[in-house]
Homo-oligomer: A and B are copies of this chain.
Amino acid sequence: MQSFLDVNAMRAWLDARATALAERDAVQLLAGLGRILAEDVVSTLNVPPHDNSAMDGYAISLAELGQPLPISQRIPAGVVPKPLAQGTVARIFTGAPIPVGADAVVMQEVCTVGEDGRVAIEGEVKEGQNIRRAGSDIATGAVVVPAGKRLTPADLGLLASIGVAEVSVVRPLRVAVFFTGDELTEPGETLAEGKIYNSNRYWLTPLLLELGCEVTDLGIVPDSLEATREALTDAADFADVIVTCGGVSVGEEDHVKAAVEAVGELHLWKIAIKPGKPFAFGRVGAADFVGLPGNPVSGYVTFHVFVRRFIEQRQGLAEVREPTVIKLKAAFEWSRADSKREEYLRVKRAVENGETVLARFANQNSGVLSSCAWADGLVRLAPGQTVAPGDWVDYLPFE
């Protein structure tokens, strides 16, 4: 056990060990939501496919402007127009293809249709006006969505717009979780004297699910070396990553440390982070082992600071996400600075006099998850940093 390890050093250490999954799945477009794209998607067509109208109006030939002209055809979106007949205009609607021979569209608001059906045009008309050119938005051969991106609704819409019906995505990361401690009781059961409810399962599993992991929950493992070894080797059979909470500090009652060492390898740290501190990383067979602190708040914060980023790299996310840090004004005071550890306060955005400021949860001790449930992010403080109302601080949204 070393002395305190710096947060950035821990992050860099984990970065070096996070290898992206190579296996892929082919899925229907809508099933790709939230998955990591495995290959660049290159457009096989131009968007728009043809020069088309940006307005409801009249397609005209500049050379023939001057006097009112008759309407020779009507071009709604979705039809193939005839070439523009000489000495005429075409009635055209937004999105409809420009007929050969037309070189501008005049919006209907500046046109007058006479009783004879002829269209008079007011004002100046420029070549190409109100025409969206073929390929001006997406050209054939362009990378539309890059490999390694987590697919969003807008990505799916964009891919659909170039006709993509199926995408190649990285297969889901398989994560096994288990929980140790004879004091743990499942919610819904009666709480015996000296026991506590298992809360870690209920925030850890959904956080992993939200990241798109395939989670296998091995349940509560009895506080014994043998049972913990068995849980670990069972998990290593199928999981890419094993995550557990608790059992990795120096306390004598912690069997997880000994069990991981017995069947794999383990590194333990005291991180210079509050809440947090104990953190473990190792290998069991081909699986990574991540040991979060057993305290729910410490575990929750540690997950956000280290584990989410590690998981995303294992999932094949191309851009290693630096924590989003936004400077916001504190509407709170914090005088109890920790002299040695980076501190993460649980905070929430609020609007004060039209300005976004940060409020902090009153009780910042790490006893219960109330602060995390209330918060929408963290304020990161350097060791020794205090806060007065009005100070600009580093805000890290949970996202």
The residues of A with any CB-CB pair to B shorter than 8 Å are 29-30, 33, 45, 47-50, 56, 76-80, 93-97, 132, 136-138, 144-145, 152-166, 181-189, 191, 193-207, 209-210, 223, 249-253, 294, 296, 300, 322, 324-328, 349, 351, 355-356, 363, 365, 367-370, 372-373, 375, 397, 399
| Interface contact A93-B29, CB-CB below 8 Å | no
Closest CB-CB distance, A328 to chain B, in whole Å?
Answer: 7
Closest CB-CB distance, A48 to chain B, in whole Å?
Answer: 7
Complex interface: chain B residues within 8 A of A325 (CB):
351, 356
Complex interface: chain B residues within 8 A of A45 (CB):
191
| Interface contact A206-B164, CB-CB below 8 Å | no
With A197-B163, A253-B76, A356-B325 given, is the CB distance from A158 to B368 under 8 Å? yes
Complex interface: chain B residues within 8 A of A189 (CB):
163
The listed residue (B93, B163, B166) touching A252 by CB distance below 8 A is B93
| Interface contact A188-B163, CB-CB below 8 Å | yes
> Can you tell how many copies of this chain the complex includes?
2
| Interface contact A370-B199, CB-CB below 8 Å | no
Assembled-state Cα–Cα distance A138/B373 (Å): 13
Closest CB-CB distance, A251 to chain B, in whole Å?
Answer: 5
| Interface contact A153-B95, CB-CB below 8 Å | no
| Interface contact A77-B158, CB-CB below 8 Å | no
Assembled-state Cα–Cα distance A77/B183 (Å): 6
| Interface contact B196-A48, CB-CB below 8 Å | yes
With A300-B154, A372-B154 given, is the CB distance from A188 to B166 under 8 Å? yes
